[in-house]
Amino acid sequence: MRRYLLIVAVLALAAAPAVADGPSGSHEEDGSPPVWDNQVQCGSGTATPAGMIYAGSNGVEVCSDGSSVLPLQGRIIATTEQGGYVAADGDASNEPAQAKGWVRVDGNGVRCGDDNGRRDATHPTSADGSEDCG
């Protein structure tokens, strides 16, 4: 019986949709279905004056969601998830406007986010491309 339950549990988890966030579990969306609000919420890690610092087998991240001494909010990510990427991802609370967006380097090259996309480096869309970096 235990073996049957284990198989059912594994199959259920495999069928569930994956939602990728930062390596620490940081994210910029709320609700179900998700609404990308460009308000970073840090995940797990070690709290420091510079923000939450996370290092694990899936990557490293520095995240600031307003609880650090830094004047900007956002995330710096280097991860093996989604085929591997590095990104700098700002927050809607930042000024100037350029600090609200993101830049990501992955297998598709350099991409940036603008108002036509999700404004979240962990969930880029086809509307987020290198033409948005300028």
User: Quick one: pLDDT band at residue 20, thresholds 50, 70, 90?
Assistant: low
pLDDT exceeds 50 at position 19: no
User: Quick one: pLDDT band at residue 80, thresholds 50, 70, 90?
Assistant: very high
Give tens-digit pLDDT for 25-35. Answer: 998 888 788 88
Per-residue confidence (pLDDT) for residue 62, from 0 to 100:
96
Cα-only R_g, the chain: 16
Tell me how far CA of residue 94 lies from CA of 45, 53, 66, in angstroms: 23, 20, 10
Domain ranges of the chain: 21-133
Structure tokens at 124: 């880029």
HSE value, Cβ hemisphere, 13 Å, CA-based, for 21:
16
Name the β-bridge partners of 47.
Answer: 52
Per-residue confidence (pLDDT) for residue 41, from 0 to 100:
92
- Look at the chain and count its residues: 134
In this structure, how many other beta carbons lie within 10 angstroms of the beta carbon of residue 56?
13
Higher pLDDT among residues 15 and 22, named by residue: 22
Per-residue confidence (pLDDT) for residue 115, from 0 to 100:
73
Per-residue confidence (pLDDT) for residue 11, from 0 to 100:
28
Residue 80: phi, psi to the nearest 5?
-95, -10
Average pLDDT of the chain, as a whole number = 82
- How large is the average pLDDT for residues 57-72? 92
